[in-house]
Amino acid sequence: MTERARTEVEEPGPDGGPPAARSHPATSPRGLTAAEVAERVARGEVNDVPVRSSRSAAEIVRSNVFTRFNAIIGVLFVIILIVGPLQDGLFGFVIVANTGIGIVQELRAKRTLDNLAVIGEARPTVRRDGTAAEIPTSEVVLGDVIELGPGDKVIVDGEVLETDGLEVDESLLTGEADPVLKKPGERMMSGSFVVAGGGAFAATKVGREAYAAQLAEEASRFTLVHSELRTGISQILKYVTWMMIPTAIGLILSHLLTLGLPGDEAVRRMVAGIVPMIPEGLVLLTSVAFAIGVIRLGRKQCLVQELPAIEGLARVDVVCLDKTGTLTEGGMDVNALRPLGGADPAYVQQVLGALGASDPRPNASLQAIIDTYPADAAWRCTRSLPFSSARKYSGASFNGPDQEGSTWLLGAPDVLLPPRDPVLAETDDLNAQGLRVLLLAGSARELDDPDLTSDVRPTALVVLEQRLRPDATQTLRYFEEQDVAAKVISGDNAVSVGAVAGKLGLPGADDPVDARRLPGDADAMATALDEGTVFGRVTPQQKRDMVAALQARGHNVAMTGDGVNDVLALKDADIGVAMGAGSEATRAVAQIVLLNNSFATLPSVVAEGRRVIGNITRVATLFLTKTVYSVLLAILVACWQIPYPYLPRHLTLLSTLTIGVPAFFLALAPNKERARPHFVRRVMRYAVPSGLITGTAAFVTYLLARAYYTGPHALPAETSAATLTLFLAAMWVLAIIARPYTWWRIALVLTMGLGFLIVLVTPWLQRFFDLKLVGTTMPWTAVAIAAVAALLLEFAWRWVGHRFPS
């Protein structure tokens, strides 16, 4: 085993003072040798937790094949195969085809997600043979020395070896929001993440033995749950299941005992009454629509880590944006250096170079300084205080060429200086131009002094220019047009954030709010959030509180971010969106990762979600109209004590032409309708009247046909007339749902009508489906009844739309 480094550690200052500074380690563990790694791999001591973004192929097949309704339909199919004829079992072959389509589409989505997950996978830095290198998470072995920096996620359990101001947030595991300052020898828990500083730890538990292994596996798994669409469909299917049982019993008993039909005929009529009650294709089309959405978004380098996130983002009405990395690009440039109080510019540049060299994991601001002011080897860092989003500053102590024990701080001027300091007036002017300003200040105190920021000496202002994302203006305008409120929530100076947002044309950016003045009460905070648009100097905990306050007001909240200070808010938001170049911790908790780091991808995700929601609502109405008229026909048949008017083959033909085939195309069509809540209520308020009208029209035609036709061959003629009415009425429902019309929607409806016409005029298809219109009186009567039903359907749809506007 490698030798543990000895590191000087000091306690945090009392009374809530700044976390203690850390001395740089005297030695560093070299990590495992190649031979030791091979030995551990051979023993199976590898981090073999399957981190994947999609279900396995076996799970996909199992979830599509072994469903409740496939089991019911499978039993009914076997019964029909026994009593015959085969054409009455066509519904079984349709289910097989549908299941196959669902499996193929989900496997395609799995392949897309798995490929994207490889791109966005975390690669920890591990020391082996004294050299640090990035490796896949799955290749970490027991005893590996893993380096950590701000934003890194702790992937396995371990023991701290080195610390350099290492602060770890364990809130995702313990619920405690305060960062924990780690010392050598203390435990590291997988699932936590680094908020400040750096260090290294040795892996003591890997794979499924790690504390948060199962949690991490479940969090990153492709899932089909927690969706209003899927929850609503499950609720509908539960009710349908309970209706099927008494309906089946009633149909078989009435046909056998009351009507005295032969057993095989009674069974066929019972199956015909039960099968159309099952909206089996609705579950399939929902899964297919989501899977196709994943594939489409994958082509745009958007990784959907949780499938319902496509739907969820389409439902949000507030999107909270972190400025840095979202509205602006990650990098910055030094715009100007303004010495204060007669400070020597050359000396100031030396200090800045030394501060840059003191941080092994610089953030974007410090990286800009490093790129501009190279370090002077004469400056030796003795202690350092890493930057923290909660503190808003960093610091270091040096043995410089001119003085001993100098301490320097670099951070937000309005945090380091008292409220009325004259330097703040100059910084306000710069902030108003959208520039970012950092204060370089000297201090006579030690870094672990609780009053470190008291009596600092302002030495220089470092003016940084942020790079605006060229696509941010268009994206913000899109959200405004879609009635989605955009809130910019940033840890930077409020005036500076407001100026940046103003350049991008965000309404309300001219009145930024300093979050330090926000009330602590959740209701009062929610009011301030409703009224304001831009918020600056927001702490990580405040971001979380803001999300909670908006949710308490009934808002669906999306949060975007890329930094470690965004993790808590991303986790609590309804939808978390992380940038691919962001910290490992943000990518781990977000439902959507924009691998191309483009904020402009979000409208595509919203559009994809709206397509899924709008189209599934459309096709669900088709399926549930069939369920309603099937239940109605079964009830009416039982009340009138007459044979069920249809055979399974008739309803298979009608379902295929009026629902199955058109629903597949409609479910995947473009749709820009805004997402609306209450899926079940919205579907049923159209499906119930449509089903009642359609079923009543078909039954009236059947009763008239029974009175009109006589003789031993009357039943096929009666069934054919009733089938004609049912088809025409169902086609009108399809024609309504297909609106607004486009050329392909009109062609789709006409093609389905042509398909039924071909069956009616082709002799062998007439025999196969047992359909033949006899005479002219009843067929034209069936058409007339269908026309009346069409008028009633139009009236019902218009009345429902007027009575219950969306």
Distance CA 293, CA 300 (A): 11
- Maximum CA pair distance of the chain? 118
Distance CA 387, CA 384 (A): 10
Give the mean pLDDT of 432-436. 84
- Decide if 76 contacts 268 (C-beta within 8 A): no
Exposure of 743 by Cβ count < 10 A (0-12 exposed, 13-18 middle, 19+ buried)? exposed
DSSP E strand boundaries for 135-179: 145-148, 157-169
Listed residue (589, 669, 729) closest to 219, CA to CA: 589
Look up residue 97 and give its two tokens. 């085809």
Task: Using the predicted structure, report yes or no on whether residue 222 has a pLDDT greater than 60.
Answer: no
Instruction: Output the CA torsion 566→567→573→574 (10° steps).
Output: 130
Q: Is 322 a catalytic residue?
A: yes
User: Comparing 753 with 219, which gets the higher pLDDT?
Assistant: 753
Domain ranges of the chain: 34-45+126-218, 224-294+606-803, 302-327+469-597, 332-467
Task: Using the predicted structure, report yes or no on whether residue 713 has a pLDDT greater than 80.
Answer: no
pLDDT of residue 6: 35
- Decide if 572 contacts 552 (C-beta within 8 A): no
Which residues 6+ apart lie within 8 Å of 216 measured at CB? 49, 51, 155, 190, 191, 588
Listed residue (208, 197, 128) closest to 395, CA to CA: 197
Round the average pLDDT of the chain to a whole number and report it.
Answer: 82
Q: What values do phi and psi take at 502, rounded to 5?
A: -65, -40
pLDDT of residue 223: 41
Distance linking the first and last C-alpha atoms of the chain? 67
Catalytic residue among 317, 322, 492, 770: 322
Task: Using the predicted structure, report yes or no on whether residue 332 has a pLDDT greater than 60.
Answer: yes
Which tens digits make up the pLDDT trace of 120-168? 567 888 998 888 888 888 889 988 999 988 878 888 888 999 888 788 8
**Position 710, amino acid:** T
Per-residue pLDDT band for 119 (boundaries 50, 70, 90) equals low
Per-residue pLDDT band for 805 (boundaries 50, 70, 90) equals low
Q: What is the DSSP letter of 601?
A: G
Task: Using the predicted structure, report yes or no on whether residue 241 has a pLDDT greater than 50.
Answer: yes
Distance CA 782, CA 701 (A): 6
Q: What values do phi and psi take at 401, rounded to 5?
A: -70, -20
User: Comparing 455 with 51, which gets the higher pLDDT?
Assistant: 455
User: Comparing 2 with 580, which gets the higher pLDDT?
Assistant: 580
Which tens digits make up the pLDDT trace of 738-794? 988 999 999 999 999 999 999 999 999 998 888 888 889 999 999 999 999 999 999
Per-residue pLDDT band for 701 (boundaries 50, 70, 90) equals very high
Listed residue (679, 683, 677) closest to 316, CA to CA: 677
- Decide if 528 contacts 463 (C-beta within 8 A): no
Distance CA 602, CA 471 (A): 11
**pTM score, whole prediction:** 0.70
**What is the DSSP secondary-structure string of 674-729?**
PP-S-HHHHHHHHHHHHHHHHHHHHHHHHHHHHHH--STTHHHHHHHHHHHHHHHH
Q: Which residue has the tokens 């309906």?
A: 247
Q: Is residue 659 classed as helix, strand or coil in its secondary structure? A: helix
Which tens digits make up the pLDDT trace of 67-118? 777 777 788 788 888 877 777 777 777 778 778 877 887 787 777 767 766 6
Task: Using the predicted structure, report yes or no on whether residue 598 has a pLDDT greater than 70.
Answer: yes
CATH class of the domain whose range is 224-294+606-803:
mainly alpha
Count of C-beta atoms within a 10 Å radius of residue 94:
18
Task: Using the predicted structure, report yes or no on whether residue 693 has a pLDDT greater than 90.
Answer: yes
pLDDT of residue 324: 74
CATH number, domain 34-45+126-218, options 2.40.160.20, 2.70.150.10, 2.40.110.10, 3.30.160.270:
2.70.150.10
Give the lowest-confidence range in 221-225, 473-477, 493-497: 221-225
Exposure of 519 by Cβ count < 10 A (0-12 exposed, 13-18 middle, 19+ buried)? exposed
Give the mean pLDDT of 195-210. 84
CATH number, domain 302-327+469-597, options 3.60.15.10, 2.60.40.2380, 3.40.50.1000, 3.40.50.1100:
3.40.50.1000
pLDDT of residue 286: 80
pLDDT of residue 601: 86
Q: What values do phi and psi take at 463, rounded to 5?
A: -100, 120
Q: What values do phi and psi take at 708, rounded to 5?
A: -85, -45
Task: Using the predicted structure, report yes or no on whether residue 342 has a pLDDT greater than 60.
Answer: yes
Distances in Å between the Cα of 328 and the Cα atoms of 339, 475, 588, 625 are 27, 13, 22, 50
**Position 135, amino acid:** I
pLDDT of residue 526: 87
pLDDT of residue 26: 34
What superfamily in CATH does domain 332-467 come from? Calcium-transporting ATPase, cytoplasmic domain N (3.40.1110.10)
Look up residue 204 and give its two tokens. 């003591």
Which tens digits make up the pLDDT trace of 10-34? 334 434 444 444 433 333 478 888 8
